[in-house]
Amino acid sequence: MNSQLSLNQNFEGFITITAATSVAEALKRLEESQKQLAVVVNANQPQTLLQGKHLTALSSQGSKPLAELLEQLPSPLVVDSGVEVLETADLKQLGNLLKKTKAPGLIIYQNGEVSGIVPRKAIAQALPLDALTSDTTRSDLYGDSQVVARTYVCRQCNPPTYMRPRQGETPSCPKNWLHGNMEPWN
C-alpha cells in the first residue's frame, strides 16, 4: 500500500516566538493565540517547535528566556519547502524521527522563513498500518526518486537539528549558520 501526504494541505496554525522571550510570556502568548504550536526563532532561524505542555513543564523557570532552555525542548525537524508530497517511505522515516525527538511536528522552511507546520498527528494518520511493521532499511541512493530522501543532522546544536532537503548539496544548519554543513543521519 502506498500512502501520500500533501504537506501544504496539512498545515496547522502556529505562532512565532523569539528565543529572547521568557517562558512565562511565551506560555501567555500561546494560550492567548489559541494555537497549539509555536516556533521559537532566533533571527528567523527555527530553534524548536513546541506546544503548551513543553512550556508548562518549564513554568518554574518562568523568567528565563527560551534561548537558555533550548536543550530541554524538542529538536527541530526542518523540511525543505521544495518538498510537496511525502510518500510512504518518507512518512515512515519522519514518523520515526518525530518519535525519537518527541517533536510535535515538522517545520517547513522556505527562503529563510518558516512557511508552515505539519503536525505529528497528520504524519501518523497518513502512515498505513503495514508501513509500521515493514522493514525498509535499504540504504539511500541520493538522487534516486524511488529512494527516501536523505536526512541530515547538526550535532553541534543541542538538541540536534534535523533537516530533509529534497535537492541540492549538503545543507547548512538552519538553526545556526556558523555550524556550517550538516552531516548525513543514519
CB-CB contact of 98 with 105 (8 Å): yes
* Predicted pLDDT at 162: 87
Torsion angle of alpha carbons 26, 31, 33, 39, nearest 10°? 40
Torsion angle of alpha carbons 34, 22, 81, 94, nearest 10°? -80
* Predicted pLDDT at 131: 52
* Predicted pLDDT at 111: 82
What contacts 69, CB < 8 A, 6 or more positions away? 23, 58, 61
* Predicted pLDDT at 144: 46
Q: Which residue has the cell 509555536?
A: 38
* Predicted pLDDT at 130: 57
* Predicted pLDDT at 116: 92
Angle at 123 between CA 118 and CA 125, to 5 degrees: 125
pLDDT of the chain, 186 residues: tens digit per residue: 568 888 888 999 999 999 999 999 999 999 999 999 999 999 889 999 999 999 999 999 989 999 999 999 999 999 877 778 888 888 888 888 898 888 999 999 888 889 999 999 999 898 866 555 444 444 444 444 445 578 889 989 888 888 888 667 788 888 888 898 988 887
Identify the structural domains of the chain with CATH numbers, from first to last.
4-184 (3.10.580.10)
